[in-house]
Chain A
Amino acid sequence: MTVLSEAGSAPTHGGRRAIRRSPYPGWFFLPAALIYGVLFLAPTFASLYFSLTRWTLFNSTFIGLDNFAQFFREPFLVQGLVNTVLYAAITSGLKVVLGMLLALLLTSAIMGRGYLRSVVFFPVLVSTVGVGITFTVLMHPTQGMINETLALFGIKGPGWLVDPRLALFSVALVDVWKGVGLATVIYIAGIVAIPKDYYEAARIDGATRWQNFLYVTLPLSRPATATVIILSFIGGLRTFDLIWAMTRGGPGFASDTIASVIYKQYQAGFYGLSTAGNVVLFVLIGILVVPLTMFLNRKQGHE
């Protein structure tokens, strides 16, 4: 991978010119390419084959699309699929809305702004497992602080993590609690980057605060919105550690996602099926995120 240079066109000297070394040598790619190629790309490509096999790590039997058929036949696996998309949609939707609102609040002249920014952002840095365990305790149906507090007001709190209809949403809420700080920070960066001239022009045109938001802030922070949506949507589709720390996919299979199914099948020794789960997740991300990215970026191009 040296500089593209044609054969010399100086006929008097004939032959090829010596190629000088580029100041930006290709071998700088080598260490990263080696690690990335062997430990990320190679397994990703291998997964395409192994997902079509019954596999014990030592030998594999080709069984065609059986693993995938199973994925779409077994109700608990199908539920995992549905849950994954639901979880991603809920978390990214809430992060966009709350992140935007918090960012608006935290870019306005508000008392305690520095403190508020810190406090909203800090959970992003804390161990997911730790957060999961803490909220499992707080969401305990009878003894948990959340329901005890609700009881003070005479409200009978739900079984956050034990009610099969609620478990997934409860975990999603904790995910939002932990991740909204990042969304906020991205929005803050986006909003701060909007030139003040626009607001001044809008003010001269007599815009109200609401119109300011609607016609200046919202359209001009669209790149931030795209980022938040894509980032949290991908994160939501891939989510594993929080669900595993809080419900292990339970009760039953009520809060299973593809990532937790992958782990369960791996533990159970169904390596082919587990890998098929990986491929399903991979395809799911492909068919959801790529169009989403294109959609968000096209809208952006309109500005």
Chain B
Amino acid sequence: MKSRPSIFLGIIAILVSALVFLVPFAFIILTAFKNKQQATLLDFSWPDGFHLWSNIVEVVTTRNWMMVTAFINSTILTVASVTLLVVFAAMVGFVLARRKTRWNGLIEFLILAGLMIPPAVVPTIWLLQGIGLFGKLHGLVLIEVAYGLPFSIILYRAFIATIPRELDEAAIIDGARPFDVFFRIILPLLWPVTVTNIVVQSVGVFNDFTNPLYYLPGNANATVQLTLYNFQSQFNTSYNLLFTNILLITIPPLLVFLFFNRHIVAGMTAGAVKG
């Protein structure tokens, strides 16, 4: 094989990738810096002045600081559902990987089904109304947990299968009860895959649009994705504000990307290949 990096091919690839993948983001940023008049032109030009700050202020304060509410809601939603996901999925993955019973086939089938089958929306709404969780943030938390479980369980089960069973046994001989074995021995060892899980699922929940749209109607509970969707019609003519909004909600995934790129890639491929 060639040892020297192919420079020619590299330059072409960098140029093309910049055109295809970076220009749209540059467009978002540039538009967010513009004032209303210039933004309306929808062109790829340098901003006339620095209007980012006033745009942000306007986006954030619109509709009675709805953006702030939305960020708080999205944060609660993400943190709560991912926390529950991690603990519950790890528990299932642990027992599923360790104990072979005749139920395993059925359980694995249900997990795969959950990866494939789209949720039945209206019956879910009907059910949520029945148990008083429709339109409630904690209801949506549970929904996100339910929909995220199959992926997380598959990740955990695959990882737990690589932890030697002798560790559990050593702990049992040392006098550990099942609860101790899981929380003192297994869960700490799952840390790498837990980070992956946290990162992948947080991005998914934070960016989720469909489920809040169905299960969390009303402005009081809006999440950031819903807010953006609502602003789309409201800021129909104020593209500077619309793109400022997009820029704001892209920051959390960007931070995640910068700090956890490796984990996301590892997790998504591991989960995908196993699934």
Instruction: Give A contacts to B, CB under 8 Å.
Output: 1, 4, 21-26, 28-29, 31-33, 35-36, 38-44, 46-47, 50, 55, 57, 105, 108-113, 115-116, 118-131, 133-135, 137-138, 140, 143-145, 148, 177, 182, 185-186, 188-190, 199, 223-224, 227, 231, 234, 238, 240-241, 244-245, 259, 262-263, 266, 271, 274-275, 278-279, 281-282, 285, 289
**A268 CA / B1 CA spacing, docked (Å):** 61
Check A23/B94 contact, CB under 8 A, given A119-B17, A125-B256, A231-B272. Answer: no
Q: Which of B14, B125, B131 contacts A116 (CB 8 A)?
A: B14
Cα of A29 to Cα of B106 in the assembled complex, Å? 13
Q: Are A46 and B103 in contact (CB under 8 A)?
A: no
Cα A50 to Cα B45 with chains together (Å): 53
9 interchain pairs, CB-CB under 8 A:
A21-B178, A23-B172, A43-B126, A116-B13, A121-B264, A125-B256, A130-B28, A241-B209, A266-B121
B253 touches A126 (CB 8 A): yes
Contact B94 A46 (CB under 8 A): no
A121 pairs with B265, CB closer than 8 A: yes
Are A41 and B123 touching (Cβ within 8 A)?
no
The answer to whether residues A266 and B257 also contact, given A32-B88, A35-B146, A126-B250 and a CB cut-off of 8 A, is no
Residues of B26-45 contacting chain A, CB below 8 A: 27-28, 41-44
Contact between B273 and A224 (Cβ–Cβ < 8 Å)? yes
Q: A111-B5, A134-B27, A185-B269 are in contact. Are A285 and B118 (CB under 8 A)?
A: yes
Indicate whether B91 reaches chain A with its CB closer than 8 angstroms. Answer: yes
Q: For residue A110, which residues in chain B have a CB less than 8 angstroms away from its CB?
A: 5-6, 9-10, 13
Chain B 1-18 interface residues, beta-carbon cutoff 8 Å to A: 1-7, 9-11, 13-14, 17-18
Supposing A40-B114, A57-B125 touch, asked if A133 and B232 sit within 8 A by C-beta, the answer is yes
Distance in Å: Cβ of A276 to nearest Cβ of chain B: 10
Contact A108 B6 (CB under 8 A): yes
Contact B178 A127 (CB under 8 A): no
CB-CB under 8 A from A4, the residues of chain B are: 101
Contacts of B147 in A (CB 8 A): 40
Q: How large is the interface on B (under 10, 10 to 19, 20 to 34, 35 or more residues)?
A: 35 or more
Query: How far does the Cβ of A233 sit from chain B's closest Cβ, in whole Å?
Result: 10
Task: Indicate if the CB atoms of A47 and B123 lie closer than 8 Å.
Answer: yes
Q: How far is the CA of A200 from the CA of B102 in the complex (A)?
A: 45
On chain B, the residues within 8 Å of A137 by CB distance are: 27, 42, 239
Tell me what chain A mostly uses at the interface: helix, strand, loop, or mixed.
helix
19 new A-B contacts at CB < 8 Å, known A23-B168, A145-B43: A29-B91, A36-B110, A39-B127, A46-B123, A50-B123, A105-B9, A109-B6, A112-B10, A125-B256, A126-B253, A127-B225, A127-B253, A129-B228, A130-B250, A134-B246, A145-B23, A145-B42, A263-B213, A274-B121
**Which B residues fall within an 8 A CB radius of A?**
1-7, 9-11, 13-14, 17-18, 20-24, 27-28, 41-44, 84, 87-89, 91-92, 94-95, 98-99, 101, 103, 107, 110, 114-129, 131, 142-143, 145-147, 149, 153, 168, 172, 178, 181-182, 203, 207, 209-210, 213-214, 224-225, 228-229, 232, 239, 242-243, 246, 249-250, 253-254, 256-257, 261, 264-265, 268-269, 272-273, 275
Residue of A nearest to B44 (CB): A145
B interface: dominant SS: helix
Q: Which of A57, A125, A244, A279 has the most CB of B within 10 A?
A: A125
A41 to B127, CA, bound (A): 11
Q: Are B91 and A31 in contact (CB under 8 A)?
A: yes
With A and B bound together, what is the CA distance between A238 and B117 in angstroms?
9
Q: State the CA gap A41–B106 with chains docked (Å).
A: 13
Task: Report the bound CA distance from A279 to B257 in whole Å.
Answer: 36
Report whether B119 and A44 are in contact in the complex, using a CB–CB cutoff of 8 Å: yes
Shortest A174–chain B CB gap in Å is: 10
- A126: which B residues are within 8 A, CB to CB? 207, 250, 253
Partner pick for A144 among B23, B42, B125, B203, CB 8 A cutoff: B42
Minimum C-beta distance from B230 to chain A (A): 10
Asked whether A129 and B89 contact (CB < 8 A) given A35-B146, A134-B246, the answer is: no
| A1 to B96 alpha-carbon distance, docked (Å) | 13
A28 and B6 form a contact (CB under 8 A): no
Could you tell me the distance in whole angstroms from the C-beta of B125 to the nearest C-beta in chain A? 7
Bound-complex Cα distance A130 to B11 (A): 29
**Please, how many angstroms separate the alpha-carbon atoms of A140 and B27 in the complex?**
14
Contacts of A240 in B (CB 8 A): 210
Please give the distance in Å from A23's CB to the nearest CB on chain B. Answer: 5
Q: Which of A50, A138, A234 contacts B27 (CB 8 A)?
A: A138
A245 contacts B14, C-beta separation under 8 Å: no
- B273 engages A111 (CB within 8 Å): no
Task: Give Cα A184 to B96, complex, Å.
Answer: 31
Docked CA distance A182–B1 (Å): 27
Top 7 A-B pairs, shortest CB-CB distance: A111-B10, A47-B120, A43-B123, A39-B146, A46-B123, A28-B91, A43-B124
Contacts A127-B207, A223-B273, A278-B120 given; does A143 touch B41 at CB 8 Å: yes
Q: In this complex, what residue of B is CB-closest to A234?
A: B116
Are B124 and A148 in touch, CB under 8 angstroms?
Answer: no
**Considering the chains assembled together, what is the distance between the CA atoms of A266 and B215 in angstroms?**
12
Contact of A275 with B123 at beta-carbon distance under 8 Å, contacts A40-B146, A109-B2, A127-B249 already known: yes
